[in-house]
Amino acid sequence: MDVSPPAALIERYTLPEMGKLWSEQAKFQSWLNVEIAATEANCRLGRVPAEALATIKAKASFSVDRILEIEAEVRHDVIAFLTNVNEHVGDAGRHIHVGMTSSDVLDTGLALQLRDSVRLLRRELDALAEAIRVLARAHKDTMMIGRSHAIHGEPISFGFKLAGWLAEVERNRTRLERLEADIAVGQISGAMGTYANTDPQIEAITCEILGLTPDTASTQVISRDRHADYVQTLALVGAALERFSTEIRNLQRSDVLEVEENFAKGQKGSSAMPHKRNPIRSERIGGLARVLRSYTVAALENCALWHERDISHSSVERMMLPDCSATLHFMLREMTAVVQGLGVYPANMARNMNVYGGVVFSQRVLLALVEAGMSREQAYRIVQRHAHSAWNTEGGNFKANLEADPEVTALLPGAQLNACFATELHQANLNVIWERLSI
């Protein structure tokens, strides 16, 4: 049985589970599942003999190679598929595809593949959430500098940074749960979607058998806003992974080196420079996120079909939907591996945070001076002067500058000034976040 991924998928970025789901074998199997379910629905309503249904269930089969051989002649994939299936079931085949049109098979079968893809993605997202949660728990109190505009701001903890990641992953979990229901929609409504040659009950029973919901009002196809939603949701999940991977890349820079991707035994970073340890997996994730985003334009353009249907969307989806699914699946697995193997360097975090003698505690000093009676304008001017002096001087020391200023020490003697430089102040109210995320 051929379960290799279709040519549209790049094997380098396709994991076996998702590749199997989007193989030609799996696609035609989904079609066969739809046809058998529709035949069973007709049988339940007394329109197909039970003996014929039994024969179809027992003998219905197909060969990918044979379907392609027939398609080369008839130039129609569904007809080629049905022709091959009928070669296996004999006279009972006249009860297959009754009152149906090609899109009933194509779109309903595609819904099965998309639903199952979301289930695989949810499994990988859950694994990533757990990996981030474990790392966050371990580093709730690992202090580091927070940055805005890439410039040192105030102390945070690495666990706090990871909490932001976890919160986004949890939002994406909700999005995928919703998407699984929204994309699991089928149709057995016939040409133009008017049920002229079938019965809405056939659609209802078929979808029930398949675990789908009947589309509210299909034309001859299921409207492509659902599929655009699928692609956009996957792209949004990919954007989160890009955010995480970009942060890792920035924190791994040689002049920062607060975290580092795992560097495997025997791994090499450069053909020319033996010292290199590059964040290649994070870079790969960021690059693949661009691919996901690029598909959103095609998915949105697929929404505008002519009248009740055309097939301009078909060629796009043959590439887009398998590729989006496989790409995000790979990215999630890759991101989980990065998080699980991440090197964290608290000593470097402390070093970076305390550069220039604690200049990052300037707000605490400002607030303390105001509380002690100084006007905010004067306090800001004094604190900014000492902070910039420390920042612009080699070996500058913000705290030492303050201690040498009588205007400051008159209001903040010894212990009071020292208290402004306590990192515990930046952790005191974070319990609410740990509780929200079960960290």
- What is the set of active-site residues? 149, 270
> CA 133 to CA 336: how far, in whole Å?
11
> CA 228 to CA 312: how far, in whole Å?
14
CB 24 within 8 A of CB 2: yes
User: Would you put residue 193 in left (φ > 0), alpha (ψ -120 to 50) or beta?
Assistant: left
Q: Is 80 exposed, middle or buried (0-12, 13-18, 19+ CB in 10 A)?
A: buried
> Which residues touch 260 (CB under 8 Å, ≥6 apart)?
252, 277, 279, 342, 343, 345
CB 25 within 8 A of CB 64: yes
Q: How far is CA 101 from the centre of its chain?
A: 34
Q: List the beta bridge partners of residue 152.
A: 147
Nearest CA-CA partner of 340 in 138, 176, 59:
138
Paired tokens of 386: 């000492």
Strand spans (E) along 72-150 = 143-148
Q: Is 217 exposed, middle or buried (0-12, 13-18, 19+ CB in 10 A)?
A: exposed
Give the 3-state secondary structure of residue 213. Answer: strand
> Which residues touch 220 (CB under 8 Å, ≥6 apart)?
101, 103, 189, 191, 192, 193, 308, 309
> CA 57 to CA 35: how far, in whole Å?
10
> CA 134 to CA 173: how far, in whole Å?
17
